[in-house]
Structure 1
Amino acid sequence: MKQQYLQSLTNEWNLNKESPMNKAPLYHQLYSILKSSILDGTMGYETQMPTEQELESTFNVSRITAKRAMDELASDNLIKRQRGKGSHVKYKFKPKPVAAPLVEMLENLVEMGIHSLVNVISVAEVIPPARIGKLLGINDSQTVMKVVRVRSNEQGNAFAHYVSWTVGINNGFTKEKLETTPRLQIIKDNNINLTKIKQTLGANNASFDIAQQLNMKEGDALLSITRHSLNENNEIVDVIDCLYNPELFNYSMVLSLD
């Protein structure tokens, strides 16, 4: 399990490190990846964390970098470090209740994809966070395709950040393909028939990384939309978390009274 976990993180590490948008120090990049895996439940309560030596060899960083990343996690009270026993997760992941969807409809998302520009930040086969794995109905060792993208309008202004997790993808999820073909079309080409999309709308504040990618300030307000796409068997096969700059993106809907 630890080896799969490290491999999953390595894929994200390599892709994120190549992104020109990530200018944070190496220890902070490593700390951020490890922290996310704890907060989203990928590394569960009391699970043993990789050692500094394992982090050093896996991510090709110095022992000082690995130690500082682990020290940051300990200072956040996310892990407990014991001499001779290693480091273990202290954080207890509790899945947030999923709100009943306000809207159940199919939008013309492909049309928006055609008339805007997309930059694929990363594509990787990963073990998803606990929340996502539960939604997709997979066990804790199964992998999914994770895609991180930034969408811009035709003037080149970035307005949306997407993180998606999809099961059943056999081909087509490459950076080149995803930047030229709508993602939903590629899903369809993999014989996945989406019949319904459930949406939950909310608000969020821009983290440092998101703010960089959307040319905003850290803490700025964002519109958030979470979409669960279901197949003909009423199974969730795709989950996407969307964050939008409200100054560049408006969301409207028409509801009819039955």
Structure 2
Amino acid sequence: MKPDFASGRGAISTGRTNLTSQLHAQDLDSHNSAPLYKQIYTLLRSRIETGVFAFNSKLPAEETLAVELGVSRITVKRAMNELAASGFVKRFRGRGTIVSYSNRTPPVLGNFSTSMEHLRRLGFETEIELKFLDIVPVNIDVATELGIQPSTEVQYVERVRHLENAPFSHICNYTPLDVASKIDDAEIAYRPFTELLAGAGHEVVSAEQTIQARSVSGAVAQALMLAEGAAVLTIRRVLRDASKKAVQFTISNYRADRYQYHMVIENEDVKSGSD
């Protein structure tokens, strides 16, 4: 069983404010071609995006919304499920629906490193939540990326990054033991790995990565406060030092609403200023 290094961040606070409904029956348009559940979804989403329903707050109960909007509870339930699937709320059985979107946190603009220094320049507080750290044997997939034999033991670290107390990435790091042995485990809980690797004598000079869109479930979805099956941006990255040695393999899952990947593509065959 994985030990939990978290400080209770994932727990639902009993002190949350239970918001009263700010929606009314007149907010719905019976002549609108959009079905009622979609109109309710749009209304709730708008209030979440503008901060009326703040991050980590509890939405009104389905029964409350149904009465005040003059619709059935099934209609409200469908709208809530749509919000969860879109990553705006997280639903907990017996505890209600919690807003998981923060309008205070702008999307992180990423490059190949998305360094912590870059995030600090944005002026937002960045936190690292250490979820798991252990020595584990690797499967064929990880072994291939690191250029080692399957079942070789490596250091496995699982962390979640937060901006303004809102999770935006879930990261799994696989580090060869000859590199990890030079890193202080205590520092993994608060320092970015690019700094730790440099301090261990393996400064990262290149990276090879693959970017894909996929869905998440289980512990990853819960850590990112997303619904089961929600879409994320997944980046698989191999970091190398000056000797071309693979010093770490990383799988990072980013919330689609809080991460943007930017690149510039140039046509080298077109010469500037040519006729």
TM-score (ref. length: structure 2): 0.53
SS of aligned partner of 1:222: strand
- Residue 257 of structure 1: which of 251, 254, 267 is its match? 267
1:160 matched to which residue of 2? 169
Which AA in structure 1 matches 2:168? F
Partner Cα separation in structure 1 for residue 193 and residue 219 of structure 2: 23
1:132 aligns with 2:142: yes
1:111 aligns with 2:117: yes
Aligned partners of 2:233 and 2:255 also within 8 Å? yes
Partner Cα separation in structure 1 for residue 250 and residue 221 of structure 2: 19
Which AA in structure 2 matches 1:118? I
SS of aligned partner of 2:209: strand
- Residue 15 of structure 1: which of 3, 15, 20 is its match? 3
Query: Counterparts in 2 of 1:1-258, with a 5 A limit?
Result: 13-16=1-4, 106-112=112-118, 114=120, 115-153=125-163, 155-167=164-176, 168-174=179-185, 176-258=186-268
Aligned partners of 1:121 and 1:150 also within 8 Å? yes
Which AA in structure 2 matches 1:109? S
Judged with a 3 Å threshold, the aligned counterparts in structure 2 of structure 1 residues 113 and 141 are, in CA distance, closer, same or farther, namely farther
SS of aligned partner of 1:164: strand
Paired residues in the alignment total 162
Q: Which runs of 4+ in 1 moved over 6 A?
A: none
Task: Report Cα offsets for 1:137-173 as digits up to 9, x if no partner.
Answer: 22335321111000111x2010100001012222334
Q: Which moved more, 1:184-193 or 1:127-136?
A: 127-136
Aligned partners of 1:110 and 1:185 also within 8 Å? no
Partner Cα separation in structure 1 for residue 148 and residue 181 of structure 2: 17
TM-score (ref. length: structure 1): 0.56
Judged with a 3 Å threshold, the aligned counterparts in structure 2 of structure 1 residues 19 and 210 are, in CA distance, closer, same or farther, namely farther
Unaligned runs of 5+ residues in structure 2 are: 12-110, 269-275
Partner Cα separation in structure 2 for residue 181 and residue 233 of structure 1: 24
Aligned partners of 2:194 and 2:203 also within 8 Å? no
Judged with a 3 Å threshold, the aligned counterparts in structure 2 of structure 1 residues 190 and 151 are, in CA distance, closer, same or farther, namely same
Judged with a 3 Å threshold, the aligned counterparts in structure 2 of structure 1 residues 107 and 15 are, in CA distance, closer, same or farther, namely same
Judged with a 3 Å threshold, the aligned counterparts in structure 2 of structure 1 residues 215 and 108 are, in CA distance, closer, same or farther, namely closer
SS of aligned partner of 2:187: helix
Determine what percentage of the aligned residue pairs are the same residue. Answer: 21
Aligned partners of 1:123 and 1:173 also within 8 Å? no
Partner Cα separation in structure 1 for residue 211 and residue 225 of structure 2: 22
SS of aligned partner of 2:134: strand
Once the 2 structures are TM-superposed, how far is the Cα of residue 180 of structure 1 from its aligned partner? 2.4
Judged with a 3 Å threshold, the aligned counterparts in structure 2 of structure 1 residues 248 and 201 are, in CA distance, closer, same or farther, namely same
1:75 matched to which residue of 2? none
Once the 2 structures are TM-superposed, how far is the Cα of residue 211 of structure 1 from its aligned partner? 1.4
Partner Cα separation in structure 2 for residue 212 and residue 125 of structure 1: 24
SS of aligned partner of 1:250: strand
Aligned partners of 1:113 and 1:182 also within 8 Å? no
Which AA in structure 1 matches 2:165? G
Aligned partners of 1:106 and 1:196 also within 8 Å? no
Determine which structure has the larger helix proportion and give its number. 1
Judged with a 3 Å threshold, the aligned counterparts in structure 2 of structure 1 residues 201 and 110 are, in CA distance, closer, same or farther, namely same
